[in-house]
Every structure is written in structure tokens, then in C-alpha cells.
């Protein structure tokens, strides 16, 4: 691991100023992804800007439309939050399914969204629920935020400060967990929202995507049977050491049906 400087800013503007002025600097939140990346020499920033001490970014608050969750809220906080369990229970269940206890007590929702791992869970929830990613500059609709493999709409010195989630009428999530990491081999989040049915899939390929085939089927009948036998084209799925594309395509329908059952439970 290359030597790096370490900064602990006290405010969001200070953190943003450091990111803008220290070349090759990177923000670090829970470090669950970034630290292994540094250890494996897949990144070598000159400085880490530690967000952990920034005030006010760990909150989980109720809004008339749903929830506002601070970027530094840890997965364990979301999983055990009464507010989340009441307003968007599928989101609490999703957070509780991430990794292991150590990952859930360090990893943050902002870090997960900024990282946009193609098998991560939160991006599926954000996209299906029509969340908005709040940064120090603007609010970015989830539809415009996820740009593919580890790519997002964030600018170089832009920080996620929170996420706002409209509460759905009902929602559910299901994933086949990689038995080692618990990342999704395929995960499907289904939501009946004020703007209709939205379905987002993670783990399938280069990043989270909506699935119009499932959305149309569920708009006609919000039942597991509506999607259980709907086959997506394997060409749209990735093959790797964890699963072949044809298996992932099969899993998509199975997980979609389970997610609907979860929403109806």
C-alpha cells in the first residue's frame, strides 16, 4: 500500500475543499471497499479525506413523503431503525442482508451508493424506489445516478450527504447471496410506487438496471406468478466464476417472484 496523507475535516464544506485542493485525494467513509482496494493496490490516492467525523450525516428521519437517510448511516443502523421498518420495511430487510456484522457496522449507505458495485444491494433499492441522491451541490434522481460498472454521476469533488426515499405503497427484495461475501449473485427489488411499478435488478451485469418486462407484468397483476415464469434473455447477463449468464437469467425470475412475495407478506 502506498503512503498517503490522512485528513479529518470537521464539516462538509471543509471536506469538499480538501477534495478540491489535494490532488488525487479520495473520501473514505466506512472503508469496507476502499481499504481492501488500497491494500490490493487497485487505487493509490495521495490522501484520504475521512468523512466519519462529519456531523449530522448519520441521521434517519421521517419526511411526509418517506425517509431521509444521512450518507454516514451504517447498514446496521438502517437494518434496526424502527422508522425504516415502519415506512419502508423492505429497505430495513435489505440492509440487514448486507455482508456480515462487521461490514454492517462499518459500511455506510453513502459509500455503497458512491461505490456502485454491480452486485451491491442499495443501488437496487434506490433505483426501484425512485430515491434521490443528495450531494453537497444538488439532488440527483436515482434514474440518472447509476452509470454502469462502479460509475456514478458524482463529480470529482462531490460528496453524497444523504438519500431521500419516497415510501412505496409496498415493496420487497430478494437476492441469491454469494455464500462467501453475501453480495447478490442476482438481487431484485420490486416497488409499487406513486408512479407505478418499478423493478430494479442488481448482480446481473455491469450495474443496477430497471427491468421493464417485470414492471409491465406486475402492472397487470402484482403477484409472484406474473413474473415467476417470465424468462429474460441470457444475452443481457454476465457470466463469471460465480454464475453463468443463463443461470443468472433464470435467477432473475425466481428472485423477482420472491421479491413480490416479500412485498405481499
Ligand X SMILES: Cc1cc2nc3c(=O)[nH]c(=O)nc-3n(C[C@H](O)[C@H](O)[C@H](O)COP(=O)(O)OP(=O)(O)OC[C@H]3O[C@@H](n4cnc5c(N)ncnc54)[C@H](O)[C@@H]3O)c2cc1C
Using CB under 6 A as the binding rule, whether residue 159 contacts ligand X is answered as yes
Q: Which residue in the set 12, 16, 27, 131 belongs to the binding site for ligand X (CB under 6 A)?
A: 27
- 3-state secondary structure at position 87: helix
Per CB under 6 A, which of residues 71..130 are in contact with ligand X?
71, 98-99, 103, 106-108, 110-112, 114-115, 120-122
- 3-state secondary structure at position 86: helix
| Shortest distance, position 160 Cβ to ligand X, whole Å | 4
Which of the stretches 175-183, 208-216, 223-231, 254-262 binds ligand X when contact is defined by CB under 6 A? 175-183
Using CB under 6 A as the binding rule, whether residue 207 contacts ligand X is answered as no
Per CB under 6 A, which of residues 208..227 are in contact with ligand X?
none
Q: Which residue in the set 18, 127, 160, 209 belongs to the binding site for ligand X (CB under 6 A)?
A: 160
DSSP, res 234: G
DSSP code string of 235-252: GGS---SS--HHHHHHHH
How far are the Cα atoms of 20, 30, 40, 236 from residue 110, in angstroms, in the given order? 19, 9, 22, 28
Which residue's CB is nearer to ligand X, number 25 or number 253?
25
Packed helices 89-96 and 122-129: angle between N→C axes, nearest 10 degrees? 170
Which residue's CB is nearer to ligand X, number 35 or number 254?
35
CA–CA distance, 58 with 2 (Å, rounded to integer): 30
Using CB under 6 A as the binding rule, whether residue 172 contacts ligand X is answered as no
Which residue's CB is nearer to ligand X, number 181 or number 193?
181
Size of the site for ligand X (CB under 6 A): 31
| Shortest distance, position 194 Cβ to ligand X, whole Å | 26
Which residue's CB is nearer to ligand X, number 9 or number 30?
30
Which residue's CB is nearer to ligand X, number 40 or number 64?
40
Q: Which residue in the set 34, 60, 79, 167 belongs to the binding site for ligand X (CB under 6 A)?
A: 34
| Shortest distance, position 97 Cβ to ligand X, whole Å | 7
Task: Provide the b/e sequence for 133-164 (b: ≥16 CB within 10 Å).
Answer: bbbeeeebebeebbeeeeebbbeebbbbbbbb
DSSP code string of 171-216: EEEEEEEPTTT--EEEEEEEEEETTEEEEEEESSSSS-EE-HHHHH
How far are the Cα atoms of 6, 19, 28, 31, 135 from residue 50, in angstroms, in the given order? 7, 11, 5, 9, 16
Residues that bind ligand X (CB under 6 A): 26-34, 51, 71, 98-99, 103, 106-108, 110-112, 114-115, 120-122, 154, 159-160, 181-183
Amino acid at each position: 500500500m502506498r503512503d498517503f496523507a490522512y485528513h479529518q475535516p470537521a464539516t462538509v464544506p471543509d471536506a469538499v475543499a480538501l477534495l478540491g485542493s489535494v490532488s488525487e485525494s479520495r473520501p473514505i467513509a466506512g472503508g469496507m471497499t476502499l481499504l481492501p482496494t488500497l491494500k490490493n493496490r487497485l487505487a493509490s490516492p495521495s490522501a484520504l479525506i475521512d468523512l466519519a467525523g462529519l456531523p449530522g450525516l448519520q441521521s434517519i428521519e421521517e419526511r411526509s413523503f418517506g425517509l431521509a437517510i444521512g450518507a454516514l448511516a451504517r447498514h446496521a443502523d438502517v437494518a434496526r431503525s424502527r422508522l425504516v421498518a415502519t415506512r419502508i420495511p423492505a429497505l430495513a430487510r435489505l440492509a440487514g442482508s448486507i455482508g456480515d456484522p462487521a461490514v454492517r457496522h462499518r459500511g455506510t449507505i453513502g459509500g455503497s451508493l458512491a461505490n456502485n458495485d454491480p452486485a451491491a444491494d442499495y443501488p437496487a433499492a434506490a433505483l426501484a424506489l425512485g430515491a434521490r441522491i443528495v450531494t453537497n451541490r444538488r439532488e440527483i434522481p436515482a434514474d440518472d445516478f447509476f452509470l454502469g460498472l462502479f460509475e456514478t454521476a458524482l463529480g470529482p469533488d462531490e460528496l453524497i450527504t444523504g438519500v431521500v426515499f419516497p415510501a412505496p405503497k409496498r415493496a420487497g427484495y430478494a437476492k441469491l447471496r454469494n455464500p462467501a461475501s453475501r453480495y447478490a449473485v442476482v438481487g431484485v427489488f420490486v416497488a409499487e410506487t406513486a408512479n407505478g411499478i418499478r423493478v430494479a435488478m442488481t448482480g446481473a451485469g455491469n450495474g443496477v438496471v430497471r427491468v421493464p418486462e417485470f414492471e409491465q407484468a406486475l402492472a397487470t397483476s402484482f403477484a409472484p406468478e406474473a413474473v415467476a415464469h417470465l424468462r429474460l434473455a441470457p444475452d443481457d447477463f454476465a457470466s463469471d466464476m460465480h454464475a453463468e449468464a443463463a443461470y443468472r437469467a433464470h435467477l432473475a425470475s425466481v428472485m423477482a417472484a420472491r421479491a413480490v412475495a416479500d412485498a405481499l407478506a
